[in-house]
Structure 1
Amino acid sequence: MLLIYNDPAAMERLSKDEQEKVMAEVGGIMEELNANGELVGGDALADASQTRTVRVVGGAVATTDGPFVEVKEHLAGYIMVDVASMERAVEIATRWPDARTGAMEVRPVLDTVAADE
């Protein structure tokens, strides 16, 4: 799974042409992943202002609005890929535009079927 972290303000600082270039870059990567059969799925997430953080401590439920910590970057979306190696996943993440202004986290997804055996 490629977790996409971005700073919405960084995108807002770009001109409309620069924003369109970034989106075209994402589109190109997505087309490549589709053509290679590597794309499993993915989605953008709603703005962090719509986040609710839930904790249960000592049986008491605490729900807070917004992200847990004050950060510029937030989890903006994810891409699920089925690739031959971690190196390929890292290569894809390296090319993702948000890697230049935010961060990309590459993390294997546990195979629950194998874990149950």
Structure 2
Amino acid sequence: MANEKISMFTIAVTEMAQAKAFYAEQLGFRVIKDFGQGDQHWVSLELPGGGASLNLTTMHENMQPGTMKLYLTTSDLEAAYNELQTKGASVNEVKDDLYGPGSGVKWFEITDPDGNRWLVVQA
């Protein structure tokens, strides 16, 4: 079947070195490929636990930097929040209303250098 799992997704970035550093050094993605340069540059990364790869690209095609909203889950939201702050990431305060007022689902938001939004959610 062609719809068994998502294998990769792509995010348009303006400054590859800055984006690559954010994803590898702050979010903990592992660089698996790095090809090209300038406006023909892409970097593939993966989470330590595997899954779909994240591809950063300066070849924007029909994408605009800063327009993605993605979700990460963690079993320990407080530890993730503290780790990201320690690494110098700008994180928003922890909230407990991901699915609306009173839902009790804890989360916080972080943005990459281009303004793409990541919501980190308590699993």
Q: Please tell me the TM-score bracket, short chain as reference.
A: 0.3 to 0.5
Higher relative contact order (CA 8 A, sep 6+): 1
> Which of structures 1 and 2 has the bigger CA Rg?
1
> Which structure has greater helix proportion?
1
Q: Which protein is richer in strand relative to its size?
A: 2
Give me the TM-score of the superposition, normalised by structure 2: 0.32
